[in-house]
């Protein structure tokens, strides 16, 4: 697999313009990235721009705080899949996890997975806010709930991906789920190290730079 095929080319900035999203999609097609990852309002535009290409379409839900109601997240996920999203990147309810309301965290992930059927679900743990025990629990709950991926970060928290977190996540999920590293990944060397550690997908806005 080429390096480009690991990359979810991402623009989740609140200031992202129509021109920015068009540029994102053009780069994804040019470099052969696996997917583009966008906020929901940009789905119709991205879908149109990616027409007749192999690039997948990913959208974020409950982003970036994860603190919306489960009902709202489920609606958002279903809506985006209906609009053509191939993959959904959801933010876990961090407050519930830290409060040890584990059943609610798991049920929410499960409900979203159920709503999107055979589409790919990535669960963003936002590791910068969690201790190791919480990270381990988040991984276990995600796997139990049927998530396809666990993902490190939104890129909007106080920190992004780290090698240590990916090692912990890999230890917890084994082959039961894949891992996406995202947040602050800007160079090729770092990317290759993550892949070596067992990461299946890299979320970055620096894709083109990274490949040069």
Task: Evaluate the omega torsion of the peptide bond into residue 113 and state whether it is cis, within 30 degrees of 0.
Answer: no
Burial 72-86 (b: 16+ CB within 10 A, else e): ebbebbbebbeeebb
Asked if 151 is an active-site residue, the reply is: yes
Q: What is the pTM of this model?
A: 0.97
3-207: CATH class: alpha beta
pLDDT tens, position by position, for the chain (212 residues)? 899 999 999 999 999 999 999 999 999 999 999 999 999 999 999 999 999 999 999 999 999 999 999 999 999 999 999 999 999 999 999 999 999 999 999 999 999 999 999 999 999 999 999 999 999 999 999 999 999 999 999 999 999 999 999 999 999 999 999 999 999 999 999 999 999 999 999 999 999 999 98
Catalytic residue among 106, 113, 122, 180: 180
Catalytic residue among 8, 56, 73, 89: 89
- pLDDT value, residue 83: 97
Q: Helix 70-82 to helix 102-116 angle, to the nearest 10 degrees?
A: 20
Asked if 180 is an active-site residue, the reply is: yes
Catalytic residue among 56, 106, 151, 178: 151
Name the residue ranges covered by the structural domains of the chain.
3-207
Asked if 89 is an active-site residue, the reply is: yes
Give backbone dihedrals phi and psi of 110, rounded to 5 degrees, phi first. Answer: -60, -45
**What are the angstrom distances between the C-alpha of 203 and each of 50, 99, 115, 120, 144?**
18, 28, 24, 15, 24
Q: Among 137, 175, 129, which residue's Cα sits nearest to residue 154?
A: 129
């Amino acid at each position: 697999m080429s390096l480009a095929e690991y990359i979810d080319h991402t623009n989740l900035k609140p200031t992202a313009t129509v021109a920015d999203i068009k540029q994102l999609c053009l780069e994804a097609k040019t470099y052969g990235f696996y997917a583009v990852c966008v906020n929901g309002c940009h789905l119709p535009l991205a879908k149109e721009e990616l027409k007749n290409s192999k690039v997948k379409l990913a959208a974020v839900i409950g982003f970036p705080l994860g603190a919306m109601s489960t009902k709202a997240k489920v609606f958002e996920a279903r809506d985006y899949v209906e609009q053509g999203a191939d993959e959904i990147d959801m933010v876990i309810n961090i407050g519930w996890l830290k409060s040890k309301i584990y059943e609610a965290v798991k049920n929410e992930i499960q409900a979203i997975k159920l709503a999107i059927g055979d589409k790919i679900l990535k669960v963003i743990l936002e590791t910068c806010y969690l201790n190791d025990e919480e990270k381990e629990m988040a991984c276990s709950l995600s796997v139990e709930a049927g998530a396809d991926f666990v993902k490190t970060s939104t890129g909007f928290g106080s920190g992004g991906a780290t090698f240590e977190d990916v090692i912990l996540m890999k230890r917890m999920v084994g082959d039961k789920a894949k891992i996406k590293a995202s947040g602050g990944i800007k160079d090729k060397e770092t990317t290759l190290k993550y892949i070596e550690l067992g990461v299946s997908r890299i979320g970055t806005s620096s894709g083109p730079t990274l490949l040069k």
